[in-house]
């Protein structure tokens, strides 16, 4: 959609569980489950690193173990760094040393009195070990100064002594080798009793509230660095998401609102966390292969961003509609000079089993002089609660149709156009509850 492959972060809690075993023939071996927050080790063998070749022309942010400290930690980081840089070559974007170290105490990885100053000291030492290995094992890559993705904290925690702000105040970027700031975010917990589809995900105020602290933190961190701010790990609900919330069509609409609002606030990129069995996964890569609802949200986001250089996205206030369940965005190409696209999301929850006619939101927009009409691309499904039958611009990406390749299943929807009302100088569009549209002006 944009002409670029995504940046893939290979990380999460498991990166701090990894131990290398050269004799292991399988890619990985996990001996046991998490018990009382004591995480088991994950043993990886040589074939684990060959998996980096799965996606072509893709940049990676590989995670390196920081949880193991002392001499064992140095040995682990040395082996990981060498095997990773050799496997990735020029596809290495940045290293990430440690995942959510602000939660290490919760997982019994550090004592209860461990401080942010001690973390910074360990991170500086551990990241230097990675760079030393790069210099000897992958000298050409070391010259590119790929640098680090950090601090990768689990939350903003601005009022707490252990936060990304206090880490930078304690000198984490003293070497000026952090290339992008990474902080994690979720809309809530999958096990929280007060989360709901309409109240948590299909709610623009909820989205703004969730990202508010990140906007504040990014502004504070500009006192220490001007590098971009990234949601280094994010998705709907922590813990892998919740069935009925994270794996339904409503979550696709949430992906669009969340991604675009983050972009409009200066957040460079969002890494949507994936795992094979999680409800919030965008696709299922083994067992019964499926394309899941969040994937369609990402399709819409990237179709709206497009491939034009210097695209600018901004929230659009619909003057006649004051509803947390409705949001809109405008896209300007050529560095903000040309209004090219508009997204409108009707996030009012509608279920496919609801009796009666499906409500529709009517929106009229003033358009720039010279606009004749708009090509319409709808993100649509039978209802917010469904998991199948989703289309974008009349196109399905379902695995069971053509292995995930785009297939037009609704010819009329793939060719929909609305025209400008010349007398009113407006363009009007109807958007069903639980539906989104992109208007490509022409």
The model's pLDDT over 104-137, given as tens digits with 9 standing for 90+, comes to 999 999 999 999 999 999 999 999 999 999 999 9
**Boundary-marking domain end, from 248, 270, 305:** 305
Q: Which H or E run contains 431?
A: strand 426-432
**Boundary-marking domain end, from 278, 305, 332:** 305
- pLDDT for 81 equals 96
Residue 266 lies in a domain: yes
Tally of structural domains, the chain: 2
Whether 216 and 105 share a structural domain: yes
The band of 56, judged by pLDDT with boundaries at 50, 70 and 90, is confident
Give yes or no for residue 53 having a pLDDT over 90: no
Whether 274 and 383 share a structural domain: no
d(CA 275, CA 282): 9
Total residue count of the chain as it appears in this document? 442
Residue 240 lies in a domain: yes
Closest to 329 in 3D by CA, of 303, 294, 293? 303
Whether 296 and 321 share a structural domain: no
Residue 260 · residue 304 · CB < 8 Å: yes
Give the pLDDT mean for 271-299: 95
Give the pLDDT mean for 410-438: 97
Whether 274 and 368 share a structural domain: no
- pLDDT for 277 equals 83
d(CA 107, CA 37): 5
Count Cβ atoms below 10 Å from residue 212 Cβ, excluding itself.
12
The model's pLDDT over 156-179, given as tens digits with 9 standing for 90+, comes to 988 888 999 999 999 999 999 999
d(CA 398, CA 404): 5
Whether 292 and 361 share a structural domain: no
Give yes or no for residue 335 having a pLDDT over 90: no
Residue 283 lies in a domain: yes
Percentage helix, strand, coil, to 5, in the chain?
Answer: 30, 25, 45
- pLDDT for 373 equals 98
- pLDDT for 310 equals 87
**Boundary-marking domain end, from 305, 327, 343:** 305
- pLDDT for 159 equals 82
Give yes or no for residue 250 having a pLDDT over 80: yes
Whether 282 and 330 share a structural domain: no
Whether 251 and 235 share a structural domain: yes
- Parent domain of 337: 312-441
The tokens describing 144, both together, are: 């590119």
The model's pLDDT over 136-147, given as tens digits with 9 standing for 90+, comes to 999 988 888 789
- pLDDT for 424 equals 94
Whether 299 and 323 share a structural domain: no
Give yes or no for residue 42 having a pLDDT over 90: yes
Give yes or no for residue 200 having a pLDDT over 80: yes
Taking the mean position of all CA atoms in its chain, how far away is CA 286? Answer: 21
d(CA 62, CA 39): 20
Residue 98 · residue 154 · CB < 8 Å: no
Q: CATH number of the domain that 56 lies in?
A: 3.20.20.80
Whether 102 and 148 share a structural domain: yes
pLDDT cut 90: percent of the chain above it = 88
The band of 260, judged by pLDDT with boundaries at 50, 70 and 90, is very high
d(CA 43, CA 311): 43
Residue 1 lies in a domain: no
Q: CATH number of the domain that 431 lies in?
A: 2.60.40.1180
d(CA 166, CA 158): 9
Residue 426 lies in a domain: yes
The band of 35, judged by pLDDT with boundaries at 50, 70 and 90, is confident
Give the pLDDT mean for 89-98: 96
Residue 267 lies in a domain: yes
- pLDDT for 295 equals 98
The model's pLDDT over 348-382, given as tens digits with 9 standing for 90+, comes to 999 999 999 999 999 999 999 999 999 999 999 99
d(CA 345, CA 377): 12
Whether 158 and 284 share a structural domain: yes
Count Cβ atoms below 10 Å from residue 116 Cβ, excluding itself.
23
Residue 3 lies in a domain: no
Give the pLDDT mean for 44-69: 93
Whether 339 and 408 share a structural domain: yes
Whether 17 and 107 share a structural domain: yes
């Amino acid at each position: 959609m944009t002409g670029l492959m995504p940046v893939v972060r290979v990380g999460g809690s498991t990166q701090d569980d990894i131990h290398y075993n050269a004799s292991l023939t399988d890619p990985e071996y996990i001996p046991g489950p998490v018990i009382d927050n004591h995480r088991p080790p994950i043993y990886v063998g040589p074939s684990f690193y060959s998996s980096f070749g799965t996606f072509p022309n893709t940049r990676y942010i590989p995670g390196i173990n920081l949880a193991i400290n002392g001499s064992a930690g140095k040995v682990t980081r040395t082996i990981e760094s060498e095997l990773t840089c050799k496997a990735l070559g020029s596809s290495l974007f940045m290293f990430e040393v440690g995942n959510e170290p602000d939660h290490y105490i919760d997982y019994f990885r550090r004592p209860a009195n461990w401080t942010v100053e001690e973390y910074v000291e360990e991170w500086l030492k551990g990241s230097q070990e990675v760079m030393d290995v790069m210099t000897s094992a992958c000298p050409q890559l070391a010259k590119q100064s790929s640098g680090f993705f950090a601090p990768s904290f689990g939350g903003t925690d601005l009022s707490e002594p252990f936060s990304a702000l206090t880490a930078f105040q304690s000198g984490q970027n003293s070497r000026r080798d952090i290339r992008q700031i990474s902080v994690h975010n979720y809309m809530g917990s999958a096990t929280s009793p007060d989360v709901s589809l309409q109240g948590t995900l299909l709610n623009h105020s909820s989205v703004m509230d969730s990202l508010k602290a990140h906007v504040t933190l990014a502004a504070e961190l500009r006192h220490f660095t001007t590098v971009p701010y990234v949601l280094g790990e994010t998705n709907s609900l922590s813990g892998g998401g919740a069935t009925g919330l994270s794996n339904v069509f409503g979550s696709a609409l949430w992906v669009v609102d969340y991604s675009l609002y983050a972009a409009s606030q200066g957040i460079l990129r969002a890494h949507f966390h994936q795992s094979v069995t999680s409800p919030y996964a965008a696709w299922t890569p083994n067992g019964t292969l499926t394309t899941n609802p969040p994937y369609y949200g990402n399709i819409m986001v990237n179709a709206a961003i497009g491939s034009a250089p210097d695209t600018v996205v901004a929230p659009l206030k619909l003057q006649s509609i004051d509803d947390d369940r409705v949001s809109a965005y405008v896209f300007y190409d050529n560095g903000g000079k040309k209004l090219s696209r508009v997204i409108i999301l009707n996030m009012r929850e509608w279920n496919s089993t609801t009796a009666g006619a499906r409500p529709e939101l009517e929106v009229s927009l003033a358009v720039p002089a010279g606009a004749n009409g708009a090509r319409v691309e709808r993100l649509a499904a039978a209802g917010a609660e469904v998991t199948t039958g989703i289309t974008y611009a009349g196109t399905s990406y379902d695995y069971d149709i053509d292995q995930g390749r785009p297939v037009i299943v609704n010819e009329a929807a793939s060719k929909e156009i609305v025209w400008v009302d010349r007398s009113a100088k407006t363009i009007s569009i109807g958007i069903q509850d639980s539906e989104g549209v992109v208007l490509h002006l022409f």
